[in-house]
Copies of this chain bind each other. A is one copy, B any other.
Amino acid sequence: MNIEDSNFILLRQHRLFRQLTYKECSELNIVSGFMNKKKNEFIYLNSLRNDRLYFLKKGYIKIGSYDKEGNEKIKEVLSQGDIFGQLTLEGDTGEQEFAQVIKSEAQICSFTVEDFERILMKRPDLAISFTKLVGLKIKGLQSRITSIMYKDVKARLVDFFIYLAHKERKETADELVFKNYLTHAEVASLVGCTRQTATTFINKLEEEGLVEFTRHHIRIPSISKLQSMAN
């Protein structure tokens, strides 16, 4: 099996690309945009203008930016099967953004917005699917805003673990265990508090038996219990 074939198969992991024919897929010129990145390597960095879309085949990455003091502000963390990059199909990100591999090695393939738009022009059904995908992101951002504005740190952490649970859950079981690819500092940045307070409240949630957070894994004994906490 050549690289293009394997890309085709892997891309089809995502429900958006499942609709693509082999020919359309090769028109995306993914091969040239294929990469293997080690831990801590950047996929892109400080690029104001980035006209690519990326598909994370394997591993974990974080998207963020740096403020003028050099502190990182994490926007989101992505795992296998996620799409990132120029989702808006249009330039000037406004802020300089980076995408960095965390925890383990990652495999990413990418294609240009230009190539993608060319296919969308031929496949309006796909354009609609894509819009719905972007729409999902909007809902996620909106509920995050609500969480940050109206809840205290503990409640925000609960929200965050629920979010993670939905992201990582494959089966429908109420218990969930998955590999932990986040440090306290990263959780803090995502939740909007300092590292110290994140540590304090993660431990508090552990005491209450709502989550188990170790360096190696995160275990949520009962998603429904966590959800009832959030009301």
Contact = CB atoms under 8 A, between A and B. Distances in A.
Given A128-B117, A149-B192, A141 B142 contact: yes
A147 to B, nearest CB: 10
Interface residues of A, number: 40
A123 interface: yes
Contacts of A117: 128
Majority DSSP secondary structure for residues of A touching B: helix
A132 B88 contact: yes
A70 to B, nearest CB: 13
Counted per complex, copies of this chain come to 2
Interface string A80-92: 0000000111100
A150 B120 contact: no
A93 B93 CA distance: 27
B138 A134 contact: yes
Interface in A59-105: 67-68, 73, 75, 87-90, 93-95
Most B CB atoms within 10 A — which of A67, A124, A130, A146? A124
A124 B95 CA distance: 29
10 closest Cβ contacts across the A-B interface?
Answer: A88-B135, A127-B127, A124-B124, A149-B192, A141-B141, A131-B131, A121-B124, A90-B132, A134-B134, A89-B132
